[in-house]
Amino acid sequence: METKLKSCGKFRCNEKLEKQKKVSAKVIMNMVIDNVNKDDGRPVVPLANGDPSVFPSFRTAIQAENAIVDSVRSAKFNNYAPIVGTLQARRAIAEYLSCDLPYQLSPDNVYVTAGGKHAIEVAVTVLAAPGANFLLPRPGFQRYEDHAAFCGLEVRYFDLLPERAWEVDLDAVEKLADENTAAIVIINPGNSCGNLYTYQHLNKIAETARELGIIVISDEVYGHITFGSNPFVPMGIFGSIVPVMTLGSLSKRWLVPGWRLGWLVMCDPAGKLKESRLDICLQRYLGLCAEPATFVQAAVPHILEKTTKEFHSRIIDLLKENAEICYDSISEIACFTCPTKPEASMFVMVKLNLLLLEDIGDDMEFCLKLAKEECVVTLPGCSVGLKNWLRITFACEPSFLADGLERMKTFCHRHAKKQPTITA
């Protein structure tokens, strides 16, 4: 007997998702990957995203692996975790971050999240008061814009200045902010530019934010991944000048993005954020979210305390070597311009000179054709806010990186605009 289904005419999708104009960087990256020629026998070189964990040289520390195994085998962490995170994980994260600060963080300042992206979602959502706006960097990380749009927040963009090592254009920030501005987002070390802010520049950002009466959301997911002349300086150092919400995770420094363990930390020794009841809002929103796995939280103290300096140094040395390979190769390609050599994170931004190329109209077309012809995947700059630029990651095996860059050089030579022949 056939059962006739009733009409679903009253069913409607969420219009905010359905009408979202921009697609995420991950969707764009998948579009580029789908354009790879499946009949090409060469291996695909992934120079688009910051997840080198698939490469043997970028395997996480044995101490981190053992901590997870011990946690699971103990059978003590199969239960639900508190909505703000386990006390042991929050205490360990507070101790880890306090090593770089002039004051001591408390576990009560720490909120454990399901990775860095979840921390972004939480930070944006709890500050999404009616009529509020956010100041976001360009280029930046689109996840902020995505969540702001979903929450009905207006976003306003300030440029990062390539001629000044991608520093924040603070004059533009002052002009963009108004009485409804809630926060400014900075990403340090830089995703997507491979830059690192100095103490002096961060101090200027803090002073500017204080004058404007806004808080700073400091995305430090790539914290301590630095290999230039400047050290990593956490924005929380300036927490006595302006309240700071620091976002971080295990994903990049420990090379385990799939473990989904991040944090949001209130670096605010004066307690201004608590006076605004931000802690209550954080707890209530986290109560609506899925918690990070309890067994991963249980492993956090051992991971943060026992991972050796040798592990971190080896990864930094590898990234430094790769950054130099990448920068030197890019310098040999006529249609590429790289404003500064990367000194942090896993990326570099490269400007395209389309006047030197035939039959390529923009950065998206460049990436699609490169994938099809050379099996190299890069991210078009339009996905991070800079049209006709490329974001290239150098976090992979050095030989793999060199091969991918050589293929890019071949591609650019093939599509180079032919010079007119001068006859006598």
Average pLDDT, the chain: 94
Question: Lowest-pLDDT range, 11-15, 177-181, 394-398?
Answer: 11-15
Residue 371, SS3 per DSSP: helix
Give the whole-angstrom CA distance, residue 180 versus residue 131.
7
For residue 297, pLDDT over 60 is answered with yes
DSSP E strand stretches across 10-78: 45-46
pLDDT over 90 percentage in the chain? 91
Output the pLDDT for position 25: 84
Average pLDDT over residues 47-57: 94
Beta carbons of 148 and 134 less than 8 angstroms apart: yes
Q: What is the 3-state secondary structure (H, E, C) of 230-258?
A: CCCCCHHHHCCCCCEEEEEECCCCCCCHH
Output the pLDDT for position 224: 98
Q: Are strands 110-113 and 347-352 parallel, antiparallel or unpaired?
A: unpaired
* pTM for the structure as a whole: 0.94
pLDDT in tens, 298-347: 999 999 999 999 999 999 999 999 999 999 999 999 999 999 999 999 99
Average pLDDT over residues 8-27: 73
For residue 74, pLDDT over 60 is answered with yes
pLDDT band of 356, cuts 50, 70, 90: very high
For residue 362, pLDDT over 90 is answered with yes
Output the pLDDT for position 359: 94
pLDDT in tens, 77-104: 999 999 999 999 999 999 999 999 999 9
Output the pLDDT for position 10: 66
Output the pLDDT for position 424: 54
Dihedral angle over CA of 361, 362, 366, 368, nearest 10? -100
Output the pLDDT for position 316: 98
pLDDT in tens, 239-253: 999 999 999 999 999
pLDDT band of 116, cuts 50, 70, 90: very high
Element (H, E) at 389: strand 389-393
Element (H, E) at 156: strand 154-161
pLDDT in tens, 232-289: 999 999 999 999 999 999 999 999 999 999 999 999 999 999 999 999 999 999 999 9
Output the pLDDT for position 21: 66
The position carrying tokens 């910051």 is 50
For residue 14, pLDDT over 80 is answered with no
Sequence-distant (≥ 6) Cβ neighbours of residue 112 within 8 angstroms: 81, 84, 85, 86, 89, 90, 93, 261, 262, 263, 291, 292, 297
pLDDT in tens, 127-181: 999 999 999 999 999 999 999 998 999 999 999 999 999 999 999 999 999 999 9
Output the pLDDT for position 49: 86
Sequence-distant (≥ 6) Cβ neighbours of residue 73 within 8 angstroms: none
Q: Are strands 379-380 and 262-267 parallel, antiparallel or unpaired?
A: unpaired
Output the pLDDT for position 210: 98
pLDDT band of 421, cuts 50, 70, 90: low
Give the whole-angstrom CA distance, residue 165 versus residue 93.
30
The position carrying tokens 């360009």 is 138
